[in-house]
Structure 1
Amino acid sequence: MSTAPQAAAKATLPPPPALVGIDTVLKQIVLLVAVFIALVPTIFMIMTALKSDDEYTFNKVGFPHALVFDHFDVVLFESPFFAWMLNSAILAGGAVVLSSAVSCLGAYAIARMQFKGRHFLFSASVALMAIPPVVMIVPLFVLYSRIGLISTYEGAILIYAGLITPFSVYLLTTFFRTLPKELFEAARMDGAGDFLILWRIVLPLSLPALLTLVVVNALYVWNDLLIAIIFLQDDAKRTLMAGISVFQGRYENQIPLVMAGMVIASAPMIILYIAFQKYFIRGLMAGAIK
């Protein structure tokens, strides 16, 4: 027969830990397999870039026996890689800044201002996301040829900004609608106008969504090849992706050298994503969970 102190001690013992269900284990296995499949191309690219040409001939998929960095020297110092990266950075930065400014104003007007046609405007903006860019190549090229914007940074930035703005408006409008109405009412009672409310209240609260747009849109412009080849025909303004296509054709038989170029080209966007990963995940989920 147990005593009162023993019964009290048993009552204070923590409950046994719950066993992990088979569903949880299966989900984790599926996620690990998906992550591995997603990382295989990147791992192969890095391993190939660190091999010599002779080793790659006899060992195409295995790990390198000795790390070789000569290919990175060739890419960086024997080709205009830095100039290509600068051109891509100019286009990505200009398009993202221009699109973000226009999208913030448009999304705020659609989400928080009352005027006729705002629902139609939002629907038209969403519909533009479904139009492939290749459909607009011919009319844009004819227009740019007449007004002299071929092979100019300004012309390419305008095209890229126009392509990424519909998605930006959609994401920001969805996010702005989730903000509490009390914030806007209190600001209006204090005499703040729409532009001041957008600048002082909405944008600081929308930092995750804005940084998400920066990452997604910069990645799109950085990796684009079609617009860069057609509208930037001057070799001095060749972008990174266009330069890599020429680089790949020139060194078609030197796969490790080409892979070294791919590693260098993808490094800035990987760094950008890692730096803003926390805000990127929050920005994608903000409109759905608030």
Structure 2
Amino acid sequence: MARARLAKWVAAVPMALLALATIYPLLFTANVAGKTRREYILDRFSLAESPSLDNIVGAWTSVGMGTYFVNSVVVVTAAVVLLSLLGSMAGFALSQMRFRGSSVVFLGILAALFIPFQVIMVPLTRIMADIGLIDTYPGLILAYVAQFLPFTVFLMTSYYRTIPAEIVDAARIDGNTLYGVYRRIMLPMGTPALLSVGILNALFCWNDVLIALLMMPSAGHRTLMVGVTSLRGQYSDDIPTFASGVLIAAVPVLLLYLFLQRQIADGVTAGSTKG
């Protein structure tokens, strides 16, 4: 009994410290966002004397964080929908359909996972500029799809391979076309993996700075994370306003995880428990 209790404490103490180290920066940022500039200059680590939302409201309206937030929501939503659709269709084809060169295609997708974006960002930017997609929503959405599609296809292919081929064969015998098998069988069965990869892609796109900075150079088209990055230079002497921008960018991601943490875990482990 004593050993079991000691083992629990040995595991619990480091995890508690890790949780504290993770939560403290968010709490510190929220506290700074509630201070005035004078309070922050006098003592940056003390609690706000009279916490206020004035800095957050100012960052949302005057600084333009509201516009950046809408830009991010539009781009991320469209990119995630396209990634989920294309990734699930490609995963179904590579896992359940037998055609010449499928293994080569899958190996090519695996190879694409190891190519850093910095290697392709110059030619990608030139191609986007030549076809007039720089500083447009479709351009940034397509850039996100191109960057994160290999990961999506790999995950969906790995998941769909755990589904017995007999299910697909039975659906074909019942008269379903390939599209019918995908829509009626594979898409519903792939929901856990789709939800998981959709959330991960949403986090990737939401937190991105480099791709958005290259594709959307004008101030009016900035995404939220690019807007937060720009605040560092524009409001270097107004840390509460900068902290408010960081808080606006962090809260949606935190809420997404809090409400969907079970679905994320289920989606990650679903492929290992099938068949």
Which TM-score applies when normalising by structure 1?
0.87
Is contact 1:51-1:256 (8 Å) kept?
yes
Deviation sequence 1:222-276 (CA, Å, 0-9, x none): 1111122222122221211222222221111111111111111222222222232
Q: Which residue of 2 aligns with 1:177?
A: 161
Q: Distance in 2 between matches of 1:234 and 1:67?
A: 34
Task: Give the alignment of 1:95-134 within 5 angstroms.
Answer: 95-134=79-118
Q: Which residue of 1 aligns with 2:27?
A: 43
Q: CA deviation at 1:77?
A: 2.1
Q: Distance in 1 between matches of 2:51 and 2:37?
A: 12
Q: Which residue of 2 aligns with 1:212?
A: 196
Q: Distance in 2 between matches of 1:279 and 1:206?
A: 13
Q: CA deviation at 1:81?
A: 1.7
Q: Which residue of 2 aligns with 1:7?
A: none
Q: CA deviation at 1:71?
A: 0.6
Is contact 1:150-1:232 (8 Å) kept?
yes
SS of equivalent residue, structure 2 residue 186: helix
Which TM-score applies when normalising by structure 2?
0.92
Q: CA deviation at 1:18?
A: 10
| 1:63 equivalent in alignment to 2:42 | no
Which letter does structure 1 place at the counterpart of 2:226?
Answer: A
Q: Which residue of 1 aligns with 2:240?
A: 256
What stretches of structure 1 of length at least 5 have no aligned partner? 1-16
Is contact 1:209-1:279 (8 Å) kept?
no
Q: Distance in 2 between matches of 1:86 and 1:230?
A: 19
Identity of aligned residues (%): 32
Is contact 2:224-2:249 (8 Å) kept?
yes
Q: What is the aligned length?
A: 274
Q: Which residue of 2 aligns with 1:158?
A: 142
| 1:287 equivalent in alignment to 2:274 | no
Q: Which residue of 1 aligns with 2:183?
A: 199
Which letter does structure 2 place at the counterpart of 1:40?
Answer: Y
Q: Which residue of 1 aligns with 2:152?
A: 168
Q: Which residue of 2 aligns with 1:146?
A: 130
Is contact 1:248-1:258 (8 Å) kept?
yes
SS of equivalent residue, structure 2 residue 272: helix
Larger radius of gyration: 1
SS of equivalent residue, structure 2 residue 67: helix
Q: Which residue of 2 aligns with 1:241?
A: 225
Q: CA deviation at 1:19?
A: 7.6
What stretches of structure 2 of length at least 5 have no aligned partner? none
Q: Distance in 1 between matches of 2:197 and 2:239?
A: 34
Q: Distance in 1 between matches of 2:101 and 2:17?
A: 47
Is contact 2:152-2:197 (8 Å) kept?
yes
